[in-house]
Amino acid sequence: MAAVLIRLKLTILLRSLGRDTSRLVSYLIGAIVAAILVIGSLPVAVGLRAGSVTDASGAVAAMSTVTLLWMLAPLLMAGVDDMLDAGAFSVLPLGARRLIPGLTLAALVGIPGAVTVAFALEQVLVWSRSVPATFAAIVAALLGAATCVVLSRMVTSVIARSLWRRRARFLVTMVLPLIYLAPLVLDQFLERRRSSHGSAAAHHAATVAEWTPFGWAWAVPWEVARGAYADALLHLALATALLLTLVVLWERVLDVELTTTAPRQAGTVRVSRAPSRRSRPLTAIARRRLLGWRRDPRLTMQAVSLIAVSVLPVLPALISSGGSHPSGLLPLALSSVMAGVLIANDLAYDGTAWWMQVVAGVPGWVDRAGRALAIGVSILVFDALVSVLQIAVGAHTAWLAVSGPLVGALLISLGLGAAMGALDPGQATRRGANPFAGNAGGGARGCLTAAVMFVVPAVLVAPVIVGAVLARHSAIAECVVLAAALIWGSGGLGIGIWWGGRRLDRGAPEMLGKLRKFA
């Protein structure tokens, strides 16, 4: 069964890449970046191998971070999960126990799996100091790689199932940011230890990481290398127990998934009075998008990802520094980038239901403007809440000086996203399927889109940033820069909506063909 699933994944991967040139290019770029990471880390592994055991302990913290990323990455970026959805096997007489080994091995076929395997082999190189340590490193590589996959699949399966229930969805939305925050608080603790101990940074980081579930397996060869065999046996027992527990939990979740289906609609829909005829198309599109944040589990995960990517990485630093940390403006800048990514992928969440707009004769610019309005308002509300939070922790920021570049970046990102979304619908999972499920090249393609959405607005808003720097000592000059940023950003937004609307008007049939895979 494992060989069948691996061949199935390879077949899906090759056929999907062969049908879509842009996806193939994105996948190749992702493969090149992964190769650079692996090749670049090889000299580091060789250096750790030649150094002392204390210096080599940094491999424990590094591999613990890899395990943590396997759990967080599918939650932060929807669409990077395994393309083999277990629910597709519900029509076959197969139990979860037969599928788990094959799904685990198939998950390692791809860019993330290949990088993880390469890193696991490099940590074997690091600990190849003696026969016992080498053998322990091989065991750790097997346990650690399996834990990465099973932990990721178990967590995403449980959350995906919960997101189809309104109360559970609210609980997940509240709990997930706290899960993201835990390792960041741990990082702040390690940062303080590094600042106080200097040269022993790797040792202190490994000491903390080895007693977390993410580092139990990777700490076994370190304990063997330094002669602590009792601690090595304890970590081996903990890592084995963790893997077995995750397998049992995943088996139960898969059994439920193979015998039931997720509800297609969560909760009831209340029909309200229709708006006026003049504003109906624009406001209806914006209202439908705003309601999707609460009703569609896939869009709910977008909201969680926005919070996790923008706020949580700098929240511990802001709190510990009393609000004076220089990265305090990073959440506002990242939210502007996320606005462009959201509108660029928005059509994919409509799927073939977009045909109703085509039949109704809604102009393309109205579609682009309605989606930009909904996402822009959502981001502005989010930015306002972040600003209030920064003020609450004592942040001292020249809000008038930074508002110009931030507003300009937001408007330009929305315009660029409106244009890119009309050219390609983006990435989304099928309605009713696992909100974390992905497809071949989807993760690499999403990363490429995010990179474009980050670089282009940064270049276009550079004149506003220069003006804000020059006008930082004059309130009147700062107001002039803000007004210029509004005009400049509005021009970029208008051009993006106009060009995207023309593209949709001319290529509506082709766009519907692209949207079929998201139906």
Structure-token pair, residue 158:
């449980």
pLDDT in tens, 155-174: 777 776 666 565 555 555 55
Task: Name the residue ranges covered by the structural domains of the chain.
Answer: 2-77+103-259, 280-518
In tens, the pLDDT along 285-295 reads 888 888 877 77
Position 286 scores a pLDDT of: 87
Please give the pLDDT value at position 494: 92
Q: Choose among 403, 364, 401: nearest CA to 489.
A: 403
Residues 461 and 490: beta-carbon distance below 8 Å? no
Q: With contact defined as beta carbons under 8 Å apart, do 208 and 60 qualify?
A: no
**pLDDT band (50, 70, 90) for residue 276:** very low
pLDDT for 313 beyond 60: no
Judge if pTM exceeds 0.75: no
Cβ neighbors of 513 (< 8 A, separation 6 or more) are none
DSSP category for residue 322? T
Q: What's the whole-number average pLDDT of the chain? A: 76
Mean pLDDT value across residues 465-494: 86
According to the model, what pLDDT value does residue 143 have? 92
Compute the half-sphere exposure of residue 106: CA atoms within 13 Å on the CB side of its CA.
Answer: 26
Question: Which tens digits make up the pLDDT trace of 388-432?
Answer: 776 766 666 667 778 888 888 889 999 998 998 888 887 776 665
d(CA 224, CA 206) in angstroms, rounded, equals 14
What is the pLDDT, as a whole number, of residue 412?
92
pLDDT in tens, 80-120: 545 566 666 766 777 777 888 888 888 888 888 888 899 99
Q: Give the mean pLDDT of 65-79.
A: 71
Contacts of 313 (CB under 8 A, 6+ apart): 184, 330
Q: What is the pLDDT of residues 124-137, one digit of tens each?
A: 888 888 888 899 99
